Amino acid sequence: MSGASWSKPGLYLLILLASLLVLGVACGTSDTPVPEATTAPEATPAPAATSPPAAATEAPASATTAPQATAASTTATPIAAPAATRPPRVTTGSGPTGTLNIGFKEIGPYTGHPSKTSWPQYGVVQLAAFEGLFGRDSEGTFWPKLVESWSVDDDQLTWTFKLEEGVQFHDDWGEMTADDAIWSVQEFAAEGSFSGGVAQIRRLWLNPEGHVRALDKYTIEVNTGVPGWDMLTWINSPAASGTWVISKKQVEELGPDEANVRAAGTGPWRMVDNVTDDFWHFEGLADHWRKPPEFSELYFRVIPEEATRIANFQTGNIDIFAASPDSIPTLAEIPETRFMSQAGSSESHLGIYGMWHEYVGTDKEREGWDPEAPYISPTADTTTEEWERARKVREAMGIAIDREKLVRELLRGEGAPLSMWGWASFDHRADPDWVWDYDPERAKQLLAEAGYPDGFDVEITPSIRGAPAEVEACEAVADMWQDVGINARLQRIPFNTLVEGQFARTNTGITCHAAQPLVEPLVLYGFMYDPIGSWSAGNDHPYLTERLHQASVTFDTDERWALQLEMAHWIWDNSFDIGLYSVNNIYPLGPKIDSWEDHLETGDPRRLSALEFAPRRK
């Protein structure tokens, strides 16, 4: 594989050729059919657009320079303190009008049942038709969404949530009640659920030592049985493992399977129709209880290739998408383009799969347990020669990567090198010695010491979910490993295929994976290393399991952070995980819309959020 393969030198040529194809296409008025979405050469065709772009109302303005993303605070809200206050209800004056078109790499089939919604749609479905009990604002603070007020008793066990009254489900399925909210949250922890928070929701909402009950039609009491400092983390949306509320009555009357594809939520947008791998179509609700959208229609359009998304943005077939950083100069040349940014939207690492040390030798041993891999020790004993040999291989893999080059050439400076996954927002707490120094010669020496002077073969797979440069970074890592003798074979598969093995713990090899910043590293560690969790980042170890479960019930902030640092030092000392970089999201804005950066939520900043606040450009 050539070292230049991941730098995509032909991208601008593709875009130029795609633009030439549409020189004769004029923008229509609001009553004019839109031409089919433009296809860039050698790129996957975009679906035909079914709603028109707004006509320009003034001469093209100069393109706006792409801004530097502004960092947002990710400080966790003290659990016993009031959350941020919900913004007052906003009306749109004349009501929703016009159509907002958003381009996505992949969204999957439309579903909404809490225990039946898989990936990639799990992350996308939260953006329009559904709402959670809480949100997480642009400053990283939890705020009550479907909840009107809440409190936690001095025992740190009993939580009381008072719901908003009068909130209606879509399609005349009635008023949202405490029964709907309780049922929905607990369904996310049902057997077979694809939520990454299954273990945590079971600990908080299904703990046999506690209880959950409706005190009245609008009030929920949750006794967690054990202290649960992270309660709000698992009942907010949108989020990577967000929970939303749907109509329990609808599921009971239609059945789970039919309700899954017609799920009635409470969000500002109502699902109208959809075609898998083509589009999702919503209508804006002028009478929404919290915030009516400014646009009357919303389309999520599946356009897998970056060059094709740019061509469709240029012709007005889509109004916004998450752009790859190396596309920003081209997009800035398109007249009337403005930009919206969200800093630190994701953190990328290399997931080392097959390193599941828990349950080895028992009837629970993981199918993907892979002790023959050079980077995996056949024993969990960190004092053995076998462990040290595997640790040296993992260290070699880490220092063979030039993170500065990844940030400079792939991210165009819109990011920063990352040594420890989950710690990008916590530099003030992190150990300054956690740094992967780029040293390919030292990497070769470590491989030789571990018994692999000629390297070894390994598969490396990108998690394709829409993060900037996620595939290109995986290609670059493979090339850099090739330079030290590691023969990395890039495997590109749909995320819904990859994620099945992540849940089942059957995957092996290495995965390039991006996660959103979380309120504390402990939350990410719960995903990564908890052997009873639903999703896994590829590895676990008894040392981490013990401390993870201790920290999860530690309400005292200082004590909890001390445990997190203890785990992080062990992870670093044993090269148990390999961080890559953090990255900012940059969104080009077409001539119909303006920025709503101040309203973007941080529950999952990898994706656009708060679409109800997207303003029409004046």
pLDDT digits (tens, 9 = 90+) for 176-209: 999 999 999 999 999 988 888 888 999 999 999 9
Residue tagged 């032909």 (tokens):
10
With both helix axes pointing from N to C terminus, report the angle between 306-314 and 11-21 in degrees, rounded to the nearest 10. 40
Count Cα atoms within 13 angstroms, Cβ side, for 10. Answer: 10
User: 232-247 burial by CB neighbour count: b if 16+ within 10 A, else e?
Assistant: bbbbbbbbbbbbbbbb
Instruction: Report the C-alpha gap between 439 and 526 in whole angstroms.
Output: 31
Alpha helices in 369-520 (DSSP H): 385-399, 403-405, 440-449, 470-482, 495-504
Instruction: Report the C-alpha gap between 165 and 177 in whole angstroms.
Output: 8
Instruction: Report the C-alpha gap between 86 and 143 in whole angstroms.
Output: 6
Helix (H) or strand (E) holding 151: strand 147-152
Alpha helices in 109-223 (DSSP H): 121-124, 178-187, 198-205
Q: How far is CA 162 from CA 181, 471, 577, 605, in A?
A: 11, 44, 41, 27
Structure tokens that stand for 448 in this block = 């030789």
Instruction: Report the C-alpha gap between 78 and 225 in whole angstroms.
Output: 20
Query: 317: closest CA among 57, 96, 38?
Result: 38
Q: Where in the chain is the domain with CATH 3.40.190.10?
A: 99-294+590-613
Query: Which listed CATH number (3.40.50.460, 3.40.190.10, 3.40.1160.10, 3.40.50.1000) goes with 99-294+590-613?
Result: 3.40.190.10
pLDDT mean values, one per 10 residues, the chain (618 residues): 42 44 36 40 36 33 42 38 53 79 94 92 94 92 96 95 98 98 97 87 96 98 95 93 96 97 98 97 98 98 95 98 92 97 91 96 95 98 98 98 96 93 91 97 98 97 86 96 97 88 93 89 88 87 95 92 97 97 95 96 89 96
User: SS3 sequence, 556-618?
Assistant: CHHHHHHHHHHHHHHHHHCCCCEEEEEEEEEEEECCCECCCHHHCCCCCCCCCCCHHHCCECC
Region of 430 (left: φ > 0; alpha: ψ -120 to 50; beta: rest) is beta
Instruction: Report the C-alpha gap between 497 and 584 in whole angstroms.
Output: 27
Cβ atoms 146, 163 nearer than 8 A: yes
Instruction: Report the C-alpha gap between 110 and 85 in whole angstroms.
Output: 32
| Torsions phi, psi for 163 (to 5 deg) | -85, 155
Instruction: Report the C-alpha gap between 155 and 311 in whole angstroms.
Output: 57
**Cis check: omega of the bond before 378, within 30 degrees of 0:** no
* Per-residue confidence (pLDDT) for residue 526, from 0 to 100: 86
SS3 content of the chain, % helix, strand, coil (to 5): 30, 20, 55
Which class is 345-583 in CATH?
Answer: alpha beta
- In the chain, how many H helices and how many E strands? 16, 18
Instruction: Report the C-alpha gap between 446 and 390 in whole angstroms.
Output: 10
Cβ atoms 246, 112 nearer than 8 A: yes
Cβ atoms 243, 234 nearer than 8 A: yes
| Torsions phi, psi for 280 (to 5 deg) | -120, 135
Instruction: Report the C-alpha gap between 178 and 220 in whole angstroms.
Output: 6
| Span 509-547, pLDDT tens digits | 999 999 888 889 998 898 789 998 878 889 999 999 999
* Per-residue confidence (pLDDT) for residue 464, from 0 to 100: 86
On the 0-12 / 13-18 / 19+ scale of CB atoms within 10 A, 27 is: middle
Contacts 24+ apart (CB under 8 A), 354-358: 354/507, 354/508, 354/509, 354/538, 354/539, 355/538, 355/539, 355/540, 355/576, 356/505, 356/531, 356/536, 356/538, 356/539, 356/540, 357/539, 357/540, 357/541, 357/542, 358/531, 358/540, 358/541, 358/542, 358/545
Cβ atoms 142, 77 nearer than 8 A: yes
Query: Could you tell me which residues come within 8 angstroms of residue 93 by beta carbon, excluding any fewer than 6 positions away?
Result: none
Cβ atoms 357, 435 nearer than 8 A: no
Coil, strand or helix at 100? strand
Cβ atoms 606, 346 nearer than 8 A: yes
Query: 161: closest CA among 224, 101, 105, 109?
Result: 224
Query: 204: closest CA among 232, 175, 231, 242?
Result: 231
Helix (H) or strand (E) holding 451: none
When computed from its CA atoms, the radius of gyration of the chain, rounded to whole angstroms, is 24
Q: Where in the chain is the domain with CATH 3.10.105.10?
A: 345-583
Instruction: Report the C-alpha gap between 224 and 206 in whole angstroms.
Output: 8
Q: Report how far Cα 94 is from the mean position of its chain's Cα atoms.
A: 34
Residue tagged 């203890």 (tokens):
566
Structure tokens that stand for 84 in this block = 């941020």
Strand partners, 269: 284
Q: How far is CA 314 from CA 261, 330, 590, in A?
A: 33, 10, 8
Query: 241: closest CA among 606, 615, 614, 612?
Result: 606
Query: 417: closest CA among 434, 441, 392, 397?
Result: 434
**Cis check: omega of the bond before 304, within 30 degrees of 0:** no
Q: What is the largest CA-CA distance in the chain?
A: 73
